[in-house]
């Protein structure tokens, strides 16, 4: 058996059968492009595999060295990849600058950081493993507008023919002159290798004489400014003073380009991956550096606690109580994983779990309540009552005690809201019950969320919390 075959054998033992079969098919039959920076949500839809199972399978495959993960910074403006990192550890908090948009963006793990997977050269060699060998437009398509833009072969070719006036490959040190007729439009010269750009604001009376313009590529991530110029003939000198080839093209930055770049794909966010149980299990202590803090605009927190667990120990004795509490943790872990969440930690008899959307957290809460009733029935008595609280909001991802954890007022509020819950009730905040998918879920379960005003310890303002009885 070859090394690859034996790795796939191991993969089959740890991941979903259909997902692994789809991965094998992709490696065998997929084009080079299809194996570079794979968008897992696309992959799951195309191969008819559950998204969570596809994510788990690719995580295991990466652990086995069959694929390489990439944490990509996607520009919110143009969908281009501003930076690609082998780990989340090299993603920094400061602005990422997009030369094409001439704008800087502070990264958030749920809006800007995408996780994609590329086949390992050990498994199959693809052109993107040597980016310098990629043809001009393949480079732009695979390395800059990668998994975030919904391009088909036709729509990409259409973009190039409709909005690109000129494109030229310049080896290191090379210089080239192109003659152009500048239309009365906003023009951008952009190179995706160095991520640098020069803007031309073309307006006014058309000029008859030819003008000389020049763009020198000499550094990375640079915007050389905007030059106002009249329409008409120009000689554009393009010079590469870097030690790598550059691939500048002259784009008409009009409605056609904006329209094409507005067609975004949904992608696997870093936030979603961090709140995936398989990721947490495999990459336990390896997601973030100790002093790293990354922003998340929305994460849903679920806290549970056992009501009266002290009395439980008193009533049934340590051994039986310990056994019951352990069984309850088993049930909660199963429910969290089944609802696409992750257990961040347990504190005594309490559990803190995260979900990428409020409806998943609410589904888990309802599921937990049913599972606890069943567990109690199996144990012949209602010995364990679970109190649950849910809240959604912004937070920071951090590493505490070798563990990926979350920090911020959203986390504090979620814990306090849990403290309000009585036996078997679920307490949730406004952002949770007003989430469209969550409120649909409540309606279809015939459940009503009853509002009440609460003051929470350590939180200045009164808060409306909802009891789901
Ligand atoms: Zn951009």
Per DSSP, the three-state class of 421 is coil
121-141 exposure pattern, b = at least 16 Cβ within 10 A, e = fewer: eebbebbbbeeeebebbbbbb
Sheet bearing 81-85, strands edge to edge: 81-85, 67-74, 113-119
Phi-psi sector, 73: left (phi>0), alpha (psi -120 to 50), beta: beta
**CA 97 – ligand 1 centroid, Å:** 8
Kindly tell me the burial class for residue 18, based on how many C-beta atoms sit within 10 Å of its own C-beta (0-12, 13-18, 19 or more). middle
**CA 82 – ligand 1 centroid, Å:** 8
Amino acid 285: pLDDT: 66
**CA 190 – ligand 1 centroid, Å:** 11
- Token pair of 207 as six digits: 């000029």
Q: Tens-digit pLDDT profile for the chain (469 aa)?
A: 688 889 999 999 999 999 999 999 999 999 999 999 999 999 999 999 999 999 999 999 999 999 999 999 999 999 999 999 998 889 987 889 999 999 999 999 999 999 999 999 999 999 999 999 999 999 999 999 988 888 888 989 988 999 999 999 999 999 999 999 999 999 999 999 999 999 999 999 999 999 999 999 998 889 999 999 999 999 999 999 999 999 999 999 999 999 989 999 999 999 999 999 899 888 876 788 888 889 999 999 999 998 877 788 888 888 888 888 899 999 999 999 999 999 999 988 899 999 999 999 999 999 999 999 898 888 776 578 899 999 999 999 998 888 889 999 999 999 999 988 877 789 999 999 999 999 999 999 999 999 999 888 877 788 899 999 8
Amino acid 357: pLDDT: 95
Rounded to whole angstroms, how far apart are CA atoms 412 and 415? 5
Rounded to whole angstroms, how far apart are CA atoms 463 and 218? 55
Contact between residue 404 and residue 287 where contact means Cβ atoms under 8 Å apart: yes
Contact between residue 265 and residue 148 where contact means Cβ atoms under 8 Å apart: yes
Backbone CA torsion sign across 271, 274, 275, 278: positive
**CA 75 – ligand 1 centroid, Å:** 5
Q: What angle do CA 414, 114, 103 make, to 5 degrees?
A: 100
Dihedral over alpha carbons 52, 57, 61, 63 (to 10 degrees): 60
Amino acid 406: pLDDT: 94
**CA 99 – ligand 1 centroid, Å:** 7
- Token pair of 433 as six digits: 């019950």
Residue 99 phi/psi, 5-degree rounding, is -70, -35
Residue 69 phi/psi, 5-degree rounding, is -85, 150
Contact between residue 316 and residue 324 where contact means Cβ atoms under 8 Å apart: yes
Partners of 202 in beta bridges: 229
**CA 78 – ligand 1 centroid, Å:** 4
Which H helix or E strand runs over 236?
Answer: strand 232-240
Fold annotation for 284-468: Alpha-Beta Plaits (3.30.70)
Pairing of strands 196-202, 186-191: antiparallel
Amino acid 22: pLDDT: 97
**CA 395 – ligand 1 centroid, Å:** 25
Phi-psi sector, 348: left (phi>0), alpha (psi -120 to 50), beta: left
Long-range pairs, 38-43, Cβ under 8 A, ≥24: 38/67, 38/116, 38/117, 38/118, 38/147, 39/116, 39/147, 39/148, 39/265, 39/267, 39/268, 40/115, 40/116, 40/117, 40/268, 41/265, 41/266, 41/267, 41/268, 42/147, 42/265
**CA 81 – ligand 1 centroid, Å:** 8
The H-assigned helical ranges of 234-378 are: 255-261, 270-274, 277-282, 309-316, 318-338, 358-378
**CA 181 – ligand 1 centroid, Å:** 26
Chain centroid, CA 318 distance in Å: 44
- Token pair of 407 as six digits: 């920090």
Q: Which residue has the tokens 């120990």?
A: 313
Contact between residue 83 and residue 77 where contact means Cβ atoms under 8 Å apart: no
Amino acid 382: pLDDT: 58
Contact between residue 202 and residue 175 where contact means Cβ atoms under 8 Å apart: no
**CA 232 – ligand 1 centroid, Å:** 27
Where are the domains positioned within the chain? 3-147, 160-261, 284-468
Q: Which residue has the tokens 């909660």?
A: 332
Rounded to whole angstroms, how far apart are CA atoms 70 and 84? 6
Amino acid 381: pLDDT: 67
Contact between residue 37 and residue 265 where contact means Cβ atoms under 8 Å apart: no
Cβ contacts of residue 9 below 8 Å, gap of 6+? 1
Kindly tell me the burial class for residue 313, based on how many C-beta atoms sit within 10 Å of its own C-beta (0-12, 13-18, 19 or more). middle
Rounded to whole angstroms, how far apart are CA atoms 8 and 341? 26
**CA 79 – ligand 1 centroid, Å:** 6
């Amino acid at each position: 058996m070859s090394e690859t075959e034996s790795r796939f054998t191991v993969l089959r033992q740890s991941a979903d059968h259909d997902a692994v079969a789809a991965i094998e098919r992709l490696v065998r039959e997929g084009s080079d492009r299809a194996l570079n920076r794979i968008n897992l949500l696309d992959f799951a839809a195309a191969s008819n595999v559950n998204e969570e199972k596809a994510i788990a399978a690719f995580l295991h495959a990466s652990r086995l060295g069959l694929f390489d993960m990439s944490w990509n910074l996607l520009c919110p403006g143009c969908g281009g990849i501003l930076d690609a990192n082998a780990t989340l550890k090299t993603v920094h908090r400061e602005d990422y600058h997009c030369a094409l948009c001439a704008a800087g963006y502070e990264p958030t793990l749920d809006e800007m950081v995408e996780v994609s997977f590329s086949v390992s050269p050990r498994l199959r060699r693809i052109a993107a493993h040597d980016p310098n060998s990629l043809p001009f437009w393949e480079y732009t398509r695979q390395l800059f507008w990668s998994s975030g833009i919904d391009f088909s072969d036709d729509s990409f070719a259409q973009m190039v023919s409709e909005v690109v006036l000129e494109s030229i490959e310049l080896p290191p040190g090379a210089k080239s002159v192109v003659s152009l007729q500048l239309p009365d439009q906003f023009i951008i010269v952009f190179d995706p290798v160095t991520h640098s750009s020069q803007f031309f604001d073309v307006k006014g009376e058309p000029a008859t004489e030819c003008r000389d313009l020049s763009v020198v590529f000499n550094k990375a991530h640079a915007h050389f400014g905007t030059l106002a110029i009249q329409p008409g003939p120009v000689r554009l000198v393009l010079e590469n003073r870097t030690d790598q080839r550059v691939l500048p093209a002259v784009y008409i930055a009009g409605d056609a380009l904006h329209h094409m770049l507005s067609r975004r794909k949904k992608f696997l966010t870093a936030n979603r991956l961090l709140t995936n149980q398989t990721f947490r299990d495999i990459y336990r202590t390896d997601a973030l550096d100790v002093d790293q803090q990354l922003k998340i605009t929305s994460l849903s927190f679920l806290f549970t606690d056992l009501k009266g667990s002290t009395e439980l120990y008193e009533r049934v004795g340590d051994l039986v109580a310990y056994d019951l509490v352990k069984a309850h943790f088993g049930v909660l872990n199963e429910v969290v994983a089944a609802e696409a969440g992750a257990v961040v930690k347990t504190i005594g008899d309490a559990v803190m779990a995260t979900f990428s959307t409020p409806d998943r957290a609410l589904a888990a809460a309802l599921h937990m309540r049913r599972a606890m009733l069943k567990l109690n029935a199996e144990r012949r008595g209602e010995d364990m009552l679970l109190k649950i609280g849910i809240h959604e909001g912004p937070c920071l991802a951090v590493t505490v005690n070798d563990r990926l954890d979350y920090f911020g007022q959203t986390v504090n509020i979620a814990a306090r809201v849990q403290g309000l819950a009585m036996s078997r009730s679920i307490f949730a905040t406004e952002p949770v019950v007003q989430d469209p998918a969550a409120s649909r879920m409540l309606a279809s379960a015939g459940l009503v969320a009853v509002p009440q005003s609460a003051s929470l310890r350590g939180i200045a303002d009164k808060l409306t919390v909802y009891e789901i009885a």
